[in-house]
C-alpha cells in the first residue's frame, strides 16, 4: 500500500481535514502531541515496522513526507 495515501486516509479520518505532504502536523494545534502516539501505533500496525530508541521522536512525525521516509528506512532496515 502506498504509504502517503494510507497515511492521508488515516489523518483525514482522525483530524477531519486533509494535509499537504510538507505541512507540519503539530504546528496548527489541530493535532495534539497525545495523538502522535496513535500515529506511531497506526504506522507500526499498518506497515509492520517498530519505532524505538532515538527514532521515537516527534520530529520524525511532523510531516507526511518525513513519516514516509522513516517508514521506508525502517522497512529497508528490517528486510
CB 34 within 8 A of CB 77: no
Site string for another protein, 11-50 (x = CB under 8 A): ---x------------------xx-xx--xx---------
Which of the stretches 3-11, 17-25, 54-62, 67-75 binds another protein when contact is defined by CB under 8 A?
A: 54-62
Single out the residue of 1, 2, 20, 53 in contact with another protein (rule: CB under 8 A): 53
Question: If you search the block for the grid coordinates 479520518, which residue do you land on?
Answer: 13
Question: What's the chain's Rg over C-alpha atoms?
Answer: 12
The single residue among 9, 21, 22, 57 that binds another protein, judged by CB under 8 A, is 57
47 φ, ψ (degrees, to nearest 5): -120, 10
How far apart (Å, rounded) are the C-alpha atoms in residues 67 and 75? 12
Q: Please give the residue ranges that form the binding site for another protein (CB under 8 A).
A: 14, 33-34, 36-37, 40-41, 53-54, 56-58, 61
Amino acid at each position: 500500500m502506498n504509504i502517503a495515501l494510507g497515511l492521508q486516509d488515516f489523518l483525514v479520518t482522525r483530524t477531519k481535514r486533509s494535509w499537504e505532504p510538507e505541512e507540519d502536523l503539530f504546528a496548527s494545534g489541530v493535532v495534539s502531541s497525545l495523538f502522535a502516539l496513535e500515529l506511531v501505533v497506526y504506522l507500526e500496525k499498518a506497515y509492520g515496522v517498530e519505532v524505538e530508541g532515538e527514532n521515537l521522536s516527534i520530529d520524525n512525525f511532523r510531516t507526511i513526507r518525513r513519516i514516509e521516509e522513516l517508514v521506508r528506512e525502517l522497512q529497508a532496515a528490517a528486510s
